[in-house]
């Protein structure tokens, strides 16, 4: 990685001291004063990366990476300070001062956390925002890349395609997702059946620990390196960058999206898909998105639309013969299919025109919405009457903009052992469900209606999904499944309620690693791994 130039600032001490005095009414002066001391004997300025509520751009910096409008209200708690480091040496002093002054640190990369944990806390806190930590270095010959945490997956895909049309990386679908949170929670997308999770393809990492030490794979050791690949980065330190193994993709891939309503046998097709999707050839991935739509001539009736969305790592002829063999019921024909390059398929699935890739470098989502989400794993097919009960919930008023996404497992996911990484959801799963409900600005006062709807859906699903534990995906963060006590020593019993759902038996190893690297539980949040110190 290139190192950034370190700027010098002669009047740094004066600036920070005068400004921390000005801010003293806000109660964060201790932290700022500590920072000014930390930096007084450095040539490395930080005043241009420290924002307090007094700085005019504080609000826009805070809002920039908020990806769920649920956490933009005036009543949402706000950080006392936001720091946007430009060099890694600026981070250890932030950790030291937060420890010394009893401030929590929330590290934010892309800000997509479903419950806003990277920028909201109920106790006094600072945000370490890695937005300017986004360098990507591709080594096409070696088929590897170093990616800094604040980079987005869209920019990673863009930089890979810049170097080679036949290299790719198996991570998520929405280009604005940050690699800091995404890889540390697992990270999956349409290449999952062929290549597993993003975390399965991480080969090195750089992290700053609670003592401010900068570690790589060798110096952190295999336990910590294991933990940050799926255990959530926030419990263990500040991840600076990942080294990843790039994967082979063909020059031509084939995509399709086929929609079927209930009148077009959607129920039977979804039912059938459950028996075949996890057994397809690894080159074939077909997910289903379920939504409600109006139907009938006057549009007053409702129906369900199942969208079968697919990528095949090969040309259309190969896809048609596989589909004829494994899922003829869908009735796929050549006209439904489009051949394109892998990078174009990234644009296609993200909903952009496939001609212009530059949009992958844009960190702003076209639409940011109010939403609440949950996840489930399915291990035996849901009977048709079970699906019909879901349709009934979709007909309720709150579900107008609800979405359920079914993502098939099998393939590579079935080959990796449950304990290889903290992410335990491997063999035995037919598919994963993501439940989502969205609502509009004018309903912001009524969020609870929508949240209650998704909770009803979640209760309804209980008999059909994984049990003991009812497994969940940490990257689809859901505080309903349990939270830590926010004061005092974190209770093991209380943490296991959510911990076992995300990590199954790997939770205990995560606790051992946490106890070793952060015995005092400094890096802590509503769902951080507890230390048993």
Ligand X SMILES: *[C@@H]1O[C@H](CO)[C@@H](O)[C@H](O)[C@H]1NC(C)=O
Ligand Y SMILES: Cc1cc2nc3c(=O)[nH]c(=O)nc-3n(C[C@H](O)[C@H](O)[C@H](O)COP(=O)(O)OP(=O)(O)OC[C@H]3O[C@@H](n4cnc5c(N)ncnc54)[C@H](O)[C@@H]3O)c2cc1C
Q: Which residues are catalytic?
A: 476
Pick the binder of ligand Y from 39, 157, 158, 188 (CB under 6 A). 188
Between 20 and 109, name the residue whose CB sits nearer to ligand Y.
109
Q: How far is the CB of 120 from ligand X (least distance, A)?
A: 20
Q: How far apart are CA 529 and CA 476, in angstroms?
A: 17
Stretch touching ligand Y by CB under 6 A, among 78-86, 180-188, 327-335, 409-417: 180-188
Residue 86 touches which of ligand Y, ligand X, none (Cβ within 5-8 Å per kind): ligand X
Site for ligand Y in 409-438 (CB under 6 A): none
Stretch touching ligand Y by CB under 6 A, among 49-57, 174-182, 377-385, 462-470: 174-182
Decide if residue 155 touches ligand Y (CB under 6 A). Answer: no
CB 309 within 8 A of CB 257: yes
SS3 51: strand
Q: How far is the CB of 336 from ligand X (least distance, A)?
A: 14
Residue 187 touches which of ligand Y, ligand X, none (Cβ within 5-8 Å per kind): ligand Y
Between 43 and 324, name the residue whose CB sits nearer to ligand X.
43
Between 214 and 483, name the residue whose CB sits nearer to ligand X.
214
Read off the DSSP letter of residue 443.
G
Residue 15 touches which of ligand X, ligand Y, none (Cβ within 5-8 Å per kind): ligand X
Residue 301 touches which of ligand Y, ligand X, none (Cβ within 5-8 Å per kind): ligand X
27: left (phi over 0), alpha (psi -120 to 50) or beta: left
Between 48 and 486, name the residue whose CB sits nearer to ligand X.
48
Decide if residue 178 touches ligand Y (CB under 6 A). Answer: yes
Q: How far apart are CA 446 and CA 443, in angstroms?
A: 5
Q: How far is the CB of 1 from ligand X (least distance, A)?
A: 15
Q: How far is the CB of 353 from ligand X (least distance, A)?
A: 13
Between 28 and 425, name the residue whose CB sits nearer to ligand Y.
425
Residue whose pair of structure tokens reads 């649920």 in the numeric block: 70
> What is the sign, positive or negative, of the torsion defined by CA atoms of 365, 105, 437, 389?
positive
Between 84 and 407, name the residue whose CB sits nearer to ligand X.
84
Compute CA distances 325 → 158, 330, 411, 521, whole Å. Answer: 35, 11, 17, 54
SS3 68: coil
Read off the DSSP letter of residue 485.
-
Residue 432 touches which of ligand X, ligand Y, none (Cβ within 5-8 Å per kind): none
Q: How far is the CB of 522 from ligand Y (least distance, A)?
A: 13
Q: How far is the CB of 118 from ligand X (least distance, A)?
A: 16
Between 299 and 488, name the residue whose CB sits nearer to ligand X.
299
Stretch touching ligand Y by CB under 6 A, among 159-167, 175-183, 269-277, 488-496: 175-183
Read off the DSSP letter of residue 422.
S
Q: How far apart are CA 108 and CA 129, in angstroms?
A: 5
CB atoms inside a 10 Å sphere around CB 526: 17
Compute CA distances 381 → 28, 308, 471, whole Å. Answer: 54, 17, 16
**H or E stretch including 433?**
strand 431-439
Site for ligand Y in 93-132 (CB under 6 A): 106-114, 117-118, 130
Q: How far is the CB of 524 from ligand Y (least distance, A)?
A: 11
Site for ligand Y in 458-477 (CB under 6 A): 475
Q: How far is the CB of 41 from ligand X (least distance, A)?
A: 6
Between 15 and 174, name the residue whose CB sits nearer to ligand Y.
174
Between 217 and 271, name the residue whose CB sits nearer to ligand Y.
217
- Within 8 A by CB and 6+ apart from 533, the residues are 515, 519, 520, 521
Q: How far is the CB of 132 from ligand X (least distance, A)?
A: 4
CB 267 within 8 A of CB 387: yes
Site for ligand Y in 220-249 (CB under 6 A): 233-234, 238-239
Read off the DSSP letter of residue 530.
P
> What is the sign, positive or negative, of the torsion defined by CA atoms of 456, 457, 458, 459?
positive
Paired tokens of 412: 């590579």
Which one, of 138, 328, 133, 321, lies nearest residue 239 by Cα? Answer: 133
Q: How far apart are CA 485 and CA 319, in angstroms?
A: 51
Q: How far apart are CA 269 and CA 266, in angstroms?
A: 5
Binding residues vs ligand X (CB under 6 A): 15, 19, 42-43, 47-51, 55, 84, 86, 131-132, 264-265, 296-298, 301, 362, 364, 366
Paired tokens of 230: 């799926």
Task: Classify residue 218 as exposed, middle or buried by CB count within 10 Å of its CB (0-12, 13-18, 19+).
Answer: exposed
Paired tokens of 196: 């597993």
Q: Dihedral (C-alpha) 443, 444, 445, 450: value to the nearest 10 degrees?
A: 70
Q: Which residues bind ligand Y (CB under 6 A)?
A: 67, 106-114, 117-118, 130, 149, 172-174, 177-178, 180-182, 184-185, 187-189, 233-234, 238-239, 475
């Amino acid at each position: 990685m290139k190192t950034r130039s370190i700027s010098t600032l002669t009047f740094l001490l004066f600036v920070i001291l005068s400004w921390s005095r000005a801010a003293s009414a806000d109660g964060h002066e201790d932290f700022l004063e500590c920072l000014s001391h930390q930096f007084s004997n450095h040539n490395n300025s930080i005043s241009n990366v420290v924002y307090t509520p007094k700085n005019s751009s504080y609000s826009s910096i805070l809002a920039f990476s908020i990806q769920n409008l649920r956490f933009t209200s005036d009543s949402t708690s706000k950080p006392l300070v936001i720091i946007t480091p430009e060099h890694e040496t600026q981070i250890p002093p932030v950790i030291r001062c937060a420890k010394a002054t009893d401030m929590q640190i929330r590290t934010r990369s892309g800000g997509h956390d479903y419950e806003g944990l990277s920028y909201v806390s109920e106790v006094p806190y600072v945000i370490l925002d890695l937005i300017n930590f986004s360098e990507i270095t591709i080594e096409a010959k070696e088929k590897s890349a170093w990616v800094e945490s604040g980079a987005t997956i869209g920019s990673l895909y863009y930089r890979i395609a810049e170097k080679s049309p036949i290299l790719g990386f198996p991570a998520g679908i929405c280009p604005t997702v940050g690699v800091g949170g995404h890889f540390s929670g697992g990270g999956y997308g349409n290449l999952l059946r062929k290549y597993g999770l993003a975390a399965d393809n991480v080969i090195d990492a750089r992290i700053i620990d609670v003592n401010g030490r900068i570690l790589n794979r060798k110096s952190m050791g295999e336990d910590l390196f294991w933990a940050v690949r799926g255990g959530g980065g926030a419990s263990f330190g500040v991840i600076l960058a990942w080294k990843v193994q790039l994967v082979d993709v063909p020059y031509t891939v084939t995509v399709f999206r086929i929609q079927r309503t209930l009148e077009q046998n959607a129920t039977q097709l979804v039912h059938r898909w459950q028996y075949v999707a996890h057994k397809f050839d690894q080159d074939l991935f077909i997910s289903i998105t379920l939504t409600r739509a109006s139907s009938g001539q006057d549009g007053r009736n409702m129906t369900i639309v199942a969208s079968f969305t697919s990528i095949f790592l090969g040309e259309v002829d190969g896809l048609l013969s596989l589909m004829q063999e494994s899922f003829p019921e869908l009735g796929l024909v050549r006209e439904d299919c489009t051949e394109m390059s892998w990078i174009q398929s990234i644009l296609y699935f993200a909903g952009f025109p496939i001609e212009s890739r530059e949009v992958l470098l844009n960190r702003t989502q076209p639409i940011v919405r109010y939403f609440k989400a949950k996840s489930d794993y399915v291990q035996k097919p849901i009977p048709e009457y079970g699906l019909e009960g879901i349709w009934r919930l979709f007909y309720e008023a709150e579900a107008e903009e609800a979405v359920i996404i079914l993502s098939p497992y099998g393939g590579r996911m079935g080959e990796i052992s449950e304990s290889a990484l903290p992410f335990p959801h491997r063999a035995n799963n037919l598919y994963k469900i993501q439940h989502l409900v969205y609502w509009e600005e004018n309903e912001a006062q009524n969020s609870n209606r929508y949240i209650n709807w998704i909770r009803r859906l979640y209760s309804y699903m209980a008999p059909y999904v994984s049990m003991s534990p009812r497994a969940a995906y940490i990257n689809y963060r859901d505080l309903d499944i349990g939270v830590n006590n926010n004061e005092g020593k974190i209770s093991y019993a209380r943490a296991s309620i959510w911990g076992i759902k995300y990590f199954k038996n790997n939770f205990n190893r995560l606790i051992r690693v946490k106890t070793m690297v952060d015995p005092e539980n400094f890096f802590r949040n509503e769902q951080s791994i507890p230390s048993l110190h």
